[in-house]
Amino acid sequence: MINPADFQVVVLMGGLGTRLKDYTKQCPKSLVDVCGRPFFDYQLDLLSAWGFRKFVFLIGYRADMIEEYYGDGRDRGISIKYSYDGEKLLGTGGAVRRAFDLLEDDFLLIYGDSFMDIDYAETLYRYGRDKAAGARALMTVLRNNNRFDKSNVVMEKDGRLALYDKHNPVPEMEHIDYGVCVYEKSLFEAYSPDEAFDIADIQHELSVKGQMTAQIVTKRFYEIGSPASLDEFTQYVKKRFESANPAVFVDRDGVINEIVWNDDIEQLDSPMKVSQFKFLPGAAEALRTIKEKGYRIFIVTNQPGAAKGKTDLATLYDINTYMIENLAKEGVEIDDLFMCPHYPKKLPGTKEEFLIRKCNCRKPEPGLIYRAMRKYNIDLSVSYMIGDSCSDITAGAAVGLSTVFIGDLKCDLCKKLKDVQPTFIAPDLAGAAQLL
């Protein structure tokens, strides 16, 4: 598993911001004020929270202001190096090529005028796994159906990226390039240092060759390319970071979806394949009710199946993506999902040994809830934890949440809970939604 602290992040920040001219006359887009902070601070905080420490900023317009503000990054606990566009505009690909001597063998590439809140651990995991199988780059993609811009990616049903082409759309394109990619440095070696080109040329060629893998993401991106989109992001920041919101933390298996029979162990278990995932009756409607009552919804779930060797981590990610996309079709937006894939001891079937560790995110430890608290402004006094096990109730109580136990609270569970008792008991998620 790739450690974010060891992986370089390259940021394209050289744009002129012509559509934001009233805001960018005096500063570059990345420094445009959003609620009292430069825009890129929000993305940099997000990446730092995921553990990234090494950055290269590709700067052009008002480059001196960016370098003066961020410096070498030392005061933020990170390292920042700079590459300068020069007088000739080189395009996205040319700007990366110009920084060639600063690049490491593999790097994450993002845009300095976009806010992209995704699971970056999944990004690095998928890139590392698929690079070993011949991939040379990874593209994050969002099911778009021409919502935010014209869709430009064809995805196969098995999750493979079949084609990227932003110039020649075809009816099969339902996804769009999200704006976070990972590349081999060697992909840029054939270009001359002052050659202008679009990085989309590399992306298209790799997709045709089958050398571009993908990560499907489910949360929309924000960008500040126009006054309207800047205002949209400003409103998002006010709601997410400045206003304390009530939230409901929901366990997954047995609460949202059915537990399934596992022939290998001859007992009920979490789904280990996408095809095994089935929503419990009324679950989507219950989640919709919770949203309509004004709560954020965070799914917090222990999923040790890969650590135990029952499946792989990629499949666990795929199951979560399937769930969130299908809930979206039902009009239910999940604000975020936090998963613990760890298990404390190695078993005979364990293959992905990096998942074996004692952690603070496996419930009943409250680490998953703390992660949500670091990312969002949550009013704990009016928030809840809903789950069907004593570990859910214990985790929720540890941070001061009111708790709802799903099912019958039998005597053996009472003994496990000891002094921690649920605030409410409900027969199912629909019943819990009515109690809030």
- For residue 300, the cross-strand partners are 338
Tell me, yes or no, if 231 is annotated catalytic.
no
State the CATH class of domain 244-435. alpha beta
The answer to whether residue 335 is catalytic is: no
User: What gap in Å lies between CA 271 and CA 257, rounded to an integer?
Assistant: 9
Checking if the pLDDT of 310 tops 70, the result is yes
Q: Each residue of 25-78: pLDDT tens digit?
A: 888 999 999 999 999 999 999 999 999 999 999 999 899 999 999 999 999 999
Q: Lowest mean pLDDT of 126-135, 143-152, 253-262, name the range.
A: 143-152
Residue 246, judged by CB atoms within 10 A of its CB (0-12, 13-18, 19+), counts as: middle
Q: What DSSP state is assigned to residue 354?
A: G
How far apart are the C-alpha atoms of 231 and 236, rounded to whole Å?
Answer: 9
Residue 344 confidence (pLDDT): 96
Residue 238, pLDDT > 90, answer yes
Beta bridge partners of 267: 262
Mapped onto helix, strand or coil, the DSSP state of residue 327 is helix
Considering the domain delimited by 4-237, tell me its CATH architecture: Alpha-Beta Complex (3.90)
Q: By C-alpha distance, which of 241, 218, 226, 394 is closest to 319? A: 218
Compute the distance between CA of residue 27 and CA of residue 24 in angstroms, rounded to an integer: 5
- CA distance linking residue 378 with residue 109, whole number of Å: 31
Q: Which of 130, 253, 335, 336 is catalytic?
A: 253
Active-site option among 251, 318, 335, 336: 251
The boundaries of every CATH 3.40.50.1000 domain in the chain are: 244-435
List the one residue out of 354, 375, 397 whose CA is nearest residue 296: 375
- The half-sphere exposure of 335 on its side-chain side, counting CA atoms within 13 A, is 25
* Residue 403: both structure tokens together: 């708790």
Residue 42 CB partners (closer than 8 Å, separation 6+):
34, 115, 237, 241
Write down the number of H helices and E strands in the chain: 13, 21
Tell me, what's the pLDDT at 16?
67
Residue 86 binned pLDDT confidence (cut-offs 50, 70, 90): confident
Span(s) in the chain for CATH 3.90.550.10 = 4-237
B/e letters for 114-141, b = 16+ CB within 10 Å, e = fewer, are bbbbbbbbbbbbbbbbbbeeebbbbbbb
- Identify the residue with better confidence: 69 or 418: 69
Handedness of CA 66, 71, 75, 77 (dihedral sign): positive
What does pTM read for this prediction?
0.94
Predicted confidence at residue 410, as pLDDT, reads: 57
